[in-house]
Amino acid sequence: MKRLARILVLFAVCGLLLFWFLTRPGSVSQPYLAVMESGDAAKGERIFWAGGCSSCHARKGAKGDDKLMLGGGHALKTPFGTFYSPNISPDEINGIGGWTEQDFANAMIAGVSPDGSHYYPAFPYTSYTRMIPEDLADLWAFMKTLPPVSKTNIAHELPLPFQFRRGLGLWKTLYLSKSSPTENLELSPETEQGRYLVEALGHCGECHTPRNLIGGMAANRWLAGGPSPEGKGKIPNITPHKSGIGSWTENDIVYSLETGLTPEFDSFGGSMVSVQENMAKLAPEDRAAIAAYLKAIPAVQSE
């Protein structure tokens, strides 16, 4: 019995060590760090709007310059608990004003906080991880120009075992990847730019792709819509299937992203209102690239 007990203890220790190794937080690679100090704030504004930062981190319903006040506080209710978007303004106490270039890069690309813990994937780093280093540097330069907001962060409301972040390291081994969900598609240069805007900066898949029981995106149903992650209503299918936006032309998509009006003489609602307002700030060629990509991806029927 003593020998068996020692063997069980040994297995337990080895298991814990393996778990600790597999769940260790990662960090960004050198190509990102090499350019972080050379970012261009003017170029970074485009990345800011394409990335939808204000949609989650400005106050609800913010308009105009208030969209640049990133005090956070939005509640995202999910099957795993309620997450609250943090203050990402340059405030040194409650925001990211005290962050270094590496802190910002680690957060955006690796989903790791300055204290070395995993961020929950309610923060869409699983999409942002596909950003190119120069765009990340430009975004960082722009973020530093924004007004500081002193708003205090709200703690997430999560049941056990989701309060323990370490296990997210295992989740990341499954779902944190720089690979494109549509990597087998051969696209034109314009459509390739649309892929980058949709899959990386715009993180459209985070809402428009259904998820499995552990919160991972269903790659075979890319952008096919499904139940809202907040538990109410449905997120629409934006693939070129007839149950999605198959009847929309590229010009229809461009016009909708610019104006918020659909070909059916309706208008966007809910969280898509803020997304559309962000898209309207992009250059026409960016919206055209997004439209070209959405018409080129595989058509998937809504469930």
Handedness of CA 237, 278, 262, 194 (dihedral sign): negative
> What average pLDDT does this structure show over 9-31?
71
CB 175 within 8 A of CB 30: no
Rounded Cα–Cα distance for residues 251 and 139 (Å): 29
Which pLDDT band holds residue 261 (cuts at 50, 70, 90)? very high
Query: For residue 221, what are the β-bridge partners?
Result: none
Question: What is the rounded distance in angstroms from the CA atom of residue 139 to the CA atom of residue 200?
Answer: 13
Query: Contact 130/178 with Cβ under 8 angstroms?
Result: yes
Q: Which residue has the higher pLDDT, 193 or 77?
A: 193
pLDDT, residue 141, reads 98
Share of the chain above pLDDT 70, in %: 92
7 has a pLDDT exceeding 80: no
Tell me: pLDDT of 79 over 80: yes
Mean of the per-residue pLDDT values for the chain?
Answer: 92
State residue 229's pLDDT score: 65
* Predicted confidence (pLDDT) at residue 227 exceeds the cutoff of 80: no
Question: Residue 267, SS3?
Answer: strand
**Mean pLDDT within 164-171:** 90
| Alpha-carbon gap, residue 87 to 98, rounded angstroms | 12
